[in-house]
Structure 1
């Protein structure tokens, strides 16, 4: 899925599920490992008010990884699932997220083509970007835990554009969650819902115009 209303000159990339393998699949694997059904963790984080509040507080930097994990473990126990020991839940999730070399290469291609590239990511864990040299990959890096606001807040997109030195109307957002693309569109940011590197590259070419050949 692509949203567009004209050629753009800059791209914001999400991290988990875009530069890495699927976050949804990682949550499903950990849910099964805990003895629950595959959708357990994601359902709790979106539907259980206490779990959702823990995630927001963690992604916006008000609580650290351990406090988030301890709180979520309590909510899991309330749902009849035991989650203890180390590595904790975040470590288990991160162990299942592997870099997508095709997407890492795509970021480099977009940048080499003369377009500004930035990262806009909702952080999960105290060291979720280990193994990625983000300052070398991007012209600007915006992480929710550092700015105190997360996607899909309009302020998160606005800050990312400000740091990248571009207007929202000049920018494309690549994200694996459609709701984040919908939110970005409210500021005039065009969007690509990421599914795989080849499709995202084709959709970016259309959005970046004649100079966007990838």
Structure 2
């Protein structure tokens, strides 16, 4: 965790922060496919064709189906059987079915906002409808999604756009993300960071970093 106290705005990641663990969801899907649990994440981070598909999807250059078809081929190349019917492999839908809202984190977003701080979301999109079930305009003052802006975390531009939309300077802002590399990238712009693990710890860190609640 980095940064200085007296910040006035917070950017929250989505998957793994407002939901249950994305890593656990990928591992569970891997088991369902009969693969080693970490294979899917390993391919997305280490296998060049898989990584390129993920980046293209998160930046909005390819849709859910094109990503799924391409990633299914990479999984088959590594010995994993992936069936594709008329609806395609449905890998992202099956992943999203394993994610559940974290009610404590949703409540924390509301509390931070009620305390007088601006709150925004900065998320790398994964799936054409990955935010279903969340009323994002009601939760946040500003929402920034990688597929809509054409750039993804950990690009500096993604953080800059999110701050611009939120109406806060980087040095006034805290980023909450479950991936340490995204916090490290945010720090390069002067954004303070909290590596999210659970709601109580994140709440305590935000209390330390943010300016006191607005008495009005």
Cross-structure match for 1:190: 192
Q: Aligned pairs, how many? A: 212
Cross-structure match for 1:46: 45
TM-score normalised by the chain length of structure 2 = 0.96
Unaligned segments of structure 1, at least 5 residues: none
Cross-structure match for 2:57: 58
Matched, 1:206 2:208: yes
Deviation at 1:212, TM superposition (A): 8.0
Deviation at 1:210, TM superposition (A): 2.8
Select which of 140, 161, 184 maps to 2:163: 161
| CA–CA distance in structure 2, aligned partners of residues 194 and 6 of structure 1 | 18
Q: Deviations over 1:118-144 (max 9, x none)?
A: 000000000000000001100000000
> In the alignment, is the contact (CA less than 8 A) between 2:11 and 2:174 conserved in 1?
yes
CA RMSD of aligned residues (A): 1.2
> In the alignment, is the contact (CA less than 8 A) between 1:206 and 1:212 conserved in 2?
no
User: What does residue range 1-150 of structure 1 map to in structure 2 within 5 Å?
Assistant: 2-85=1-84, 88-150=90-152
> In the alignment, is the contact (CA less than 8 A) between 2:146 and 2:152 conserved in 1?
yes
Deviation at 1:82, TM superposition (A): 1.4
> In the alignment, is the contact (CA less than 8 A) between 2:22 and 2:99 conserved in 1?
yes
Structure 1: which 4+ aligned runs deviate by more than 4 Å? none
SS of 2:213's equivalent in the other structure is helix
TM-score normalised by the chain length of structure 1 = 0.97
| CA–CA distance in structure 2, aligned partners of residues 203 and 38 of structure 1 | 31
Deviation at 1:211, TM superposition (A): 2.6
| CA–CA distance in structure 1, aligned partners of residues 166 and 204 of structure 2 | 23
Tell which deviates more after alignment, 124-133 or 3-12.
Answer: 3-12
Deviation at 1:75, TM superposition (A): 0.4
